[in-house]
Amino acid sequence: MVDNICAIATPYGIGAISVIRASGPEAITLVNKIFKGKDLTKVKSHTIHYGHIMDNEEEIDEVLALVYLAPKSFDGENMVEISCHGGIYVTNQVLNTLLKNGFRLAERGEFSKRAFLNHKMDLTQAESIMDIISSSNKIALKSSNASLRSQTSKLIKSFRDKILDILAKIEVNIDYPEYEDAVDVTHEYLKPIVDDLIIGMQQILKNSLITTVAIHGIKTAIIGKPNVGKSSLLNMLLDEDKAIVSSYAGTTRDIVEGTLTLGNVTLHLIDTAGIHESVDYVESIGIERSKKAMDEADLVLLVVDASKELDETDKKLLEMTKDKNRILIGNKMDLKEEISLPGMIYISAKNKEGLDALALRIEEVTKIDSIDSMNGNYLNNTRQTSLMEKAMESLNSAKNAMDLGYDISLIEIDIKNAFDYLGEITGEANPDELITALFTKFCLGK
Ligand code: GDP
Ligand code: ZN
């Protein structure tokens, strides 16, 4: 049963106003009991009313109440949004008054969960709300907005419609074998359709490699032998003295991380400090650990000291990273230049020079600007992509079964699986637990 819930929807802290959301079948009636002003049970949907929140005879705050009648509200229930003064104490007092008068505190993401359950939006749209809130660059905001406008839903639907068409035709063949006008679903008929679907999904997944990273930030590892200036580079990027710089090769330090937005990209930076400082760097676990950081990274910034000849360690690191999304950085360009490698970006971490060129190169190697030309043919996160991968695997297995000459009724099972996996992306075939797990990732009041 749907009950009446409330929560503070604005960030915790002092501001000009706070918004408290109330939702449920009796939301308007219950708020009306503590509202001195117009009779909110008699007002039209989507209207705002000035008044006071009262705790019995005591005035709590002067507020605006925005009334929404079901189903035309964010979560599809009757809703009231109360804007009160933005102090911590006063906001909590308004909330407490609601809690004393028939509301319970909403769980994390419960408003959005209700919106999903009331078919106000699907899972991809719900996820895009989270993405909009956490977006830190233009690309992330743009693609999340597109997904909220149901771009991802449409993409999934186009695949599912094609699969559904096959499934329906197979069913007709099985159930009404004597029906003359039905398409005879043979292996020859099915193969090109399944091939097309697989190719389509491959393209989406390829695009999504670029977009998911762009939206959620690029895991970037700064790698290089001791003393080339990795910590200095991190400091330059983060514009703070977070990474400790020392001129001794061999001091132990902790891994330092930071997030920054450079142009259109957000980077999650990891300096492998504390690893590279061991004395027998090459022989020791140093290389092994760098390898791990490298493997997990979407992008590697390989730093060398441009004022010195490359040595064996540099060469080893160059070899190790050659297949990665990599940018070669020649640091210490303020000193005498000794090396020049193709594609190398020259910087001086110490003098904070070369940042613009580096930012441009990052946008280039991460192919950020190609997102515009993808026309919405991409997914937004790894939950979505891993489900599409499963759908594609199912279709591949259907394809193999056809190659082996299996009966269509057996192949149908794989095709049905592909249909269901795609349905999980939008939530049309979703188990309850998953939905709950997903919505608890929301902030309170969303
Ligand atoms: P890491 O061991 O790779 O993290 O290197 P650090 O960032 O700790 O720097 C090692 C030494 O190189 C320090 O003495 C820095 O001051 C110096 N250094 C870093 N960047 C530059 C630069 O651009 N120019 C010059 N001349 N020295 C630098
Ligand atoms: Zn360092």
Is omega for the bond preceding 25 within 30 degrees of 0, making it cis? no
Q: Whose CA is closest to 281, among 332, 242, 230, 213?
A: 230
Same domain, 207 and 281: no
The pLDDT assigned to 254 comes to 46
Residues 6+ apart with CB under 8 A from 58: none
The C-alpha atoms of residue 51 and residue 282 are separated, in whole angstroms, by: 72
- Over 50: is that where the pLDDT of 274 sits? no
Ligand 1 pocket mutation pick from 257, 348, 350, 358 by most atoms within 8 angstroms of CB? 350
Q: What is the pLDDT of residues 315-360, one digit of tens each?
A: 988 998 899 999 999 999 999 878 888 899 999 999 999 988 998 8
Whichever domain contains 402, its CATH number is 1.20.120.430
Query: Residue 283 has what pLDDT?
Result: 44
436 among annotated binding-site residues? no
Range name among 50-64, 103-117, 357-371, 403-417 with the lowest pLDDT average: 357-371
Instruction: Tell whether ligand 1 has an atom less than 6 A from the beta carbon of residue 229.
Output: yes
The answer as to whether 162 is a domain residue is yes
252 is in an annotated binding site: yes
Whether residue 266 has its Cβ less than 6 Å from ligand 1: no
Amino acid letter, 118: N
Looking at the structure, tell me whether residues 346 and 222 fall in a common domain: yes
Average pLDDT, the chain: 87
Q: Tell me if 130 is assigned to some domain.
A: no
pLDDT at residue 338 in the model: 81
CA–centroid distance, 271 to ligand 2, in Å, is: 7
Name residue 204's beta-bridge partners. Answer: none
Q: How far, CA to CA in Å, does 310 sit from each of 272, 306, 338?
A: 20, 8, 9
Cα 293 to averaged position of ligand 2 atoms, centre (Å): 14
329 contact partners, CB below 8 Å, separation of at least 6: 224, 233, 301, 302, 303, 304, 344, 345, 346, 347, 358
Provide the token pair at 408. Answer: 């269509």
Give me the percent of the chain exceeding a pLDDT of 90: 53
Return the pLDDT at 307: 94
The answer to whether residues 168 and 180 touch, using CB atoms and an 8 Å cutoff, is: no
Q: Whose CA is nearest to atom 2 of ligand 1?
A: 227
Tokens of 339: 């090396």
The average pLDDT across 235-244 equals 65
Q: What is the pLDDT of residue 187?
A: 92
**Confidence tier at 268 by pLDDT (50, 70, 90):** confident
Is the pLDDT at 37 greater than 60, yes or no? yes
Range of the domain at 313: 218-370
Percent helix / strand / coil, the chain, rounded to 5: 45, 20, 35
Reported as a pLDDT band with limits 50, 70 and 90, residue 249 is very low
pLDDT band at 389 (very low <50, low <70, confident <90, very high): very high
Q: Is the CB of 224 under 6 A from ligand 1?
A: yes
Q: Higher pLDDT residue, 13 or 396? A: 396
More confident residue, 101 or 227: 101
Check: CB of residue 275 under 8 Å from CB of residue 227: no
Residue-wise pLDDT tens digits, 72-107: 999 999 999 999 999 999 999 999 999 999 999 999
- 30 and 113 inside one domain: yes
The residue whose two tokens read 């079964």 is 401
Query: Could you report the per-residue pLDDT of 117-128, keeping only the tens digit for each?
Result: 999 999 999 999
In a domain, 265, yes or no: yes
Q: In this structure, are 45 and 157 located in the same domain?
A: no
Do residues 4 and 104 make contact, with C-beta atoms less than 8 angstroms apart? yes
Give yes or no: residues 307 and 399 share one domain. no
Number of folded domains that form the chain: 3
Residues ≥6 apart with Cβ < 8 Å to 183: 169, 172, 173, 189
Q: How far apart are CA 247 and CA 323, in angstroms?
A: 31
Listed in order, strand segments (DSSP E) in 99-184 are 104-105
Q: Is 232 annotated as a binding residue?
A: yes
Q: Which residues contact 221 (CB under 8 A, 6 or more apart)?
A: 270, 272, 290, 293, 294, 296, 297, 299, 300, 301
The atom number, within ligand 1, closest to the CA of 276 reads: 2
pLDDT at 149: 87
Has this prediction a pTM greater than 0.90? Answer: no
- Nearest CA among 100, 72, 104, 97 for reference residue 82: 97
Are 230 and 318 in the same domain?
yes
Tens of pLDDT, residues 195-226: 999 999 999 999 999 888 888 889 999 888 88
Whether residues 97 and 187 share a domain: the answer is no
Last-in-domain residue among 117, 151, 173:
117
User: How many whole angstroms separate alpha carbon 281 and alpha carbon 285?
Assistant: 7
Cβ atoms of 146 and 372 closer than 8 Å: no
Poorest-pLDDT segment among 192-196, 234-238, 312-316, 441-445: 441-445
CATH number where 257 lies: 3.40.50.300
Q: Is the pLDDT of residue 284 over 70?
A: no
